[in-house]
């Protein structure tokens, strides 16, 4: 226990000073949670006092313990009597991986405290989940779609759920889960306590928060669109057809110890993985067409360090917390600029250094500009493919300039009313390929339009000359 004394009287520090005590304090400390993170300092005391919380925080900020510890603290005092099929607390997460991770953290934080937990998520059989919940559960972690199924099947009863957490609410919105989230919330106990966490606050999330939270305390740890200072970011200008070769050249660098590569689509992710394997690199891949077991296996191998390279789509990677990722490579620019922030946030965690390299084809110039607007900085160009920004401008190589007459309002000028993000439609195998949505930029014939016509810098020379 962390203990200071003033005039020989002990003064609580760490999590104890926030109101966590007894068995739970011991469990948390045994799990290595000794010094609270800022989001925990802000969010734990009001929740212990029974207040709703609206948290603006990214993955990696420590938000899981910020909502889990107050709930656990209250449940520990309740004893073990639960009604069949009910859950005392419900934590909703947008992706299966994030749900798995949250449940692991809840179990870790409450080890030995006789707290029962269960996971409800798609992609695995319902039977095991239904049996687990049958006697009643303390903490249920779920993705919205499968939970709705089980509620409809009368396998889960939510009317006695008095703690509700919505994690990564903005991503639930992106993924089209918001109506399910509203229905699920309605099914919980009317006098419940609610916490909503989101990395960004688009208007829809503000209205959701207004509808679901009662007089919430707002806690915030990083302004929207910021990226961790420890992450060294750069852009490698590369035509789509050169990206494979450049990526393999990069990966020959032994300093790229643990690398997460992002592709825009499931097909793109599969293709990158196949190409890497052909080039002699072992890589695992996660995306929505992979079975839950395959995704979990890939993640476990990557986490354990037995697989050095993990290729992922944005949605599958959302919320994944793997410590020690040295590099993030964006094989494609994301469709939504905010995904860039989430992607590169996989590295540079817990104060470690991280490197994020983005491969950018001329056809992706406008996406790069959108990213630069939300991170409020120009990304330096790395001409030698190492990801090291050029120390000084390379002669003949000019920064991408957005022509003055092409300037759209900055995203910050639109704050409070961001563009509605449509639910992502990822391409499903066997559905026939919808031309524009499923094609990564890499599918477009390279060089079809000259760069000049795309207003992507002043000459084609800046592309290709170094990369060829």
- Interaction site with ligand AMP (CB under 6 A): 32-33, 35-37, 40, 59-65, 321
Shortest distance (Å) from residue 37 CB to ligand AMP: 5
Which residue number, 275 or 321, has a Cβ lying nearer to ligand AMP?
A: 321
Q: Which residues of 197-219 are buried (b: 16+ CB within 10 A; e: fewer)?
A: bbbbbbebbeebbeebbeebbeb
Which residue number, 60 or 216, has a Cβ lying nearer to ligand AMP?
A: 60
Shortest distance (Å) from residue 319 CB to ligand AMP: 7
Which residue number, 321 or 364, has a Cβ lying nearer to ligand AMP?
A: 321
Shortest distance (Å) from residue 265 CB to ligand AMP: 26
Which residue number, 198 or 363, has a Cβ lying nearer to ligand AMP?
A: 198
Tokens of 276: 């890497």
Shortest distance (Å) from residue 174 CB to ligand AMP: 19
CA distance 172 to 144: 9
137-142, strands of its sheet edge to edge: 117-120, 137-142, 87-92, 163-166, 193-198, 53-56, 217-220
Residues 6 or more apart whose CB falls under 8 angstroms from that of 134 comprise 84, 85, 155
Q: Report which residue's Cβ sits closest to ligand AMP.
A: 64
Shortest distance (Å) from residue 428 CB to ligand AMP: 29
Which residue number, 32 or 432, has a Cβ lying nearer to ligand AMP?
A: 32
Which residue number, 37 or 367, has a Cβ lying nearer to ligand AMP?
A: 37
Q: In degrees, to the nearest 5, what angle opens at C-alpha 452 toward C-alphas 447 and 454?
A: 75
Q: Which residues of 42-52 are buried (b: 16+ CB within 10 A; e: fewer)?
A: bbbbbbbeebb
Which residue number, 91 or 158, has a Cβ lying nearer to ligand AMP?
A: 91
Beta bridge partners of 358: 235, 330
Shortest distance (Å) from residue 111 CB to ligand AMP: 13
Which residue number, 33 or 340, has a Cβ lying nearer to ligand AMP?
A: 33
Tokens of 188: 């919980």
Shortest distance (Å) from residue 6 CB to ligand AMP: 24
Phi and psi angles of residue 126, each rounded to the nearest 5 degrees, phi first: -70, -35
Residues 6 or more apart whose CB falls under 8 angstroms from that of 21 comprise 73
Shortest distance (Å) from residue 43 CB to ligand AMP: 11
Which residue number, 54 or 333, has a Cβ lying nearer to ligand AMP?
A: 54
Which residue number, 91 or 164, has a Cβ lying nearer to ligand AMP?
A: 91
Phi and psi angles of residue 10, each rounded to the nearest 5 degrees, phi first: -65, 140
Tokens of 77: 């005092």
Would you list the DSSP string of 333-378? Answer: --SSHHHHHHHHTTSSGGG--EEEEEEE-GGGHHHHHHHHHHHTSP
Nearest alpha-carbon partner for 364 in 418, 400, 329: 400
Cβ proximity of 277 and 268 under 8 Å: no
Would you list the DSSP string of 47-65? Answer: HHTT--EEEE--TTSSHHH
Shortest distance (Å) from residue 267 CB to ligand AMP: 29
Shortest distance (Å) from residue 120 CB to ligand AMP: 20
């Amino acid at each position: 226990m962390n203990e200071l004394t003033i005039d020989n009287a002990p003064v609580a520090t760490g999590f104890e000073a926030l109101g966590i005590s007894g068995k739970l304090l011991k469990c948390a400390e045994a799990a290595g949670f000794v010094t609270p993170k800022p989001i925990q300092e802000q969010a734990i005391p009001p929740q212990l006092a029974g207040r709703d919380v609206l948290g603006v925080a990214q993955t990696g900020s420590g938000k899981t313990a910020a909502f889990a510890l107050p709930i656990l603290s209250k449940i520990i005092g309740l004893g073990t009597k639960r009604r069949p099929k009910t859950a005392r607390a419900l934590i909703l997460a947008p992706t299966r991986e994030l749900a798995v991770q949250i449940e692991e953290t809840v179990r870790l934080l409450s080890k030995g405290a006789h707290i029962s937990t269960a996971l409800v998520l798609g992609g695995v059989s319902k039977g095991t989940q239904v049996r687990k919940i049958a006697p009643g559960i303390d903490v249920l972690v779920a993705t919205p779609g499968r939970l709705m199924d089980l509620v409809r099947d009368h396998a889960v009863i939510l009317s006695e759920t008095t703690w509700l957490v919505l994690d990564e609410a903005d991503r639930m919105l992106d993924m089209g889960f918001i109506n399910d989230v509203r229905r699920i919330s309605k099914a919980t106990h009317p006098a419940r306590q609610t916490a909503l966490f989101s990395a960004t606050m688009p208007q829809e999330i503000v209205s959701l928060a207004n509808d679901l939270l009662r007089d919430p305390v707002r806690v915030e740890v990083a302004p929207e669109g910021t990226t961790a200072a420890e992450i060294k970011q750069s852009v490698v200008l590369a035509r789509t057809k050169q990206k494979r070769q450049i990526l393999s050249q990069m990966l020959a660098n032994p300093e790229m110890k643990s690398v997460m590569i992002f592709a825009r689509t499931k097909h793109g992710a599969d293709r990158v993985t196949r190409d890497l394997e052909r080039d002699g690199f072992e890589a695992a891949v996660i995306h929505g067409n992979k079975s839950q077991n395959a995704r979990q296996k890939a993640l476990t191998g990557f986490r354990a360090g037995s697989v050095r390279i993990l290729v992922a789509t944005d949605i599958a990677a959302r919320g994944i917390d793997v410590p020690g990722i040295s590099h993030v490579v964006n094989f494609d620019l994301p469709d939504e600029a905010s995904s860039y922030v989430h992607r590169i946030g996989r590295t540079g965690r817990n104060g470690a250094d991280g490197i994020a390299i983005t491969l950018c084809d001329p056809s992706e110039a406008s996406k790069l500009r959108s990213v630069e607007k939300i991170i409020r900085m120009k990304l330096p160009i790395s001409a030698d493919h190492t990801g090291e920004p050029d120390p000084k401008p390379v002669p003949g190589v000019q920064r991408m300039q957005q022509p003055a007459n092409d300037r759209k309002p900055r995203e910050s000028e639109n704050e409070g009313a961001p563009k509605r993000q449509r639910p992502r439609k990822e391409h499903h195998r066997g559905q026939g390929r919808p031309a524009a949505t499923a094609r990564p930029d890499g599918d477009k014939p390279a060089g079809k339009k000259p760069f000049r016509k795309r207003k992507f810098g002043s000459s084609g020379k800046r592309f290709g000359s170094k990369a060829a």
